[in-house]
Homo-oligomer: A and B are copies of this chain.
Amino acid sequence: MDVDLPRDLDPEVRADLVAREKAYCQGLQKAGTWVHIWRCVGQYANLSVFDVEDNEELHRVLWNLPLFPYMTIDVTPLARHPSDLAADDAGA
């Protein structure tokens, strides 16, 4: 997920967007949907792992991101790996 905030964005609008994004992200972490989030070093981008029921839920989660209109998102479907010791349930 790459973020590209326009540089002429009003500072207040920007601060509000970023704050809402953080709250939204942490709400989904508490709910167990947003399983992992890492910062990609040197980029305004992250690598995230979601645990969702199906594609409908994943699209709803992403579409409602406050920063969605400014993002480029690549989705890679993941499944459990046969060598994985931790039989966790991480989804897409």
Q: Inside 8 A of A83's CB, which chain B residues have their CB? A: 21-22, 25-26, 29, 37
Q: Mostly helix, strand, loop or mixed at chain A's interface? A: mixed
Choose one: B62, B77, B80; the contact of A75 (CB below 8 Å): B77
Enumerate A9-33 residues with CB–CB distance to B below 8 Å.
21-22, 25-26, 29-30
Residue of B with least CB distance to A78: B38
Enumerate A26-62 residues with CB–CB distance to B below 8 Å.
26, 29-30, 36-43, 46-47, 49, 54-56, 58-59, 62
Complex CA–CA separation, A81 to B26 (angstroms): 11
Q: Inside 8 A of A82's CB, which chain B residues have their CB? A: 22, 39
The 9 closest A-B pairs by CB, nearest first: A38-B78, A41-B77, A42-B62, A42-B73, A55-B79, A59-B79, A39-B81, A25-B83, A41-B59
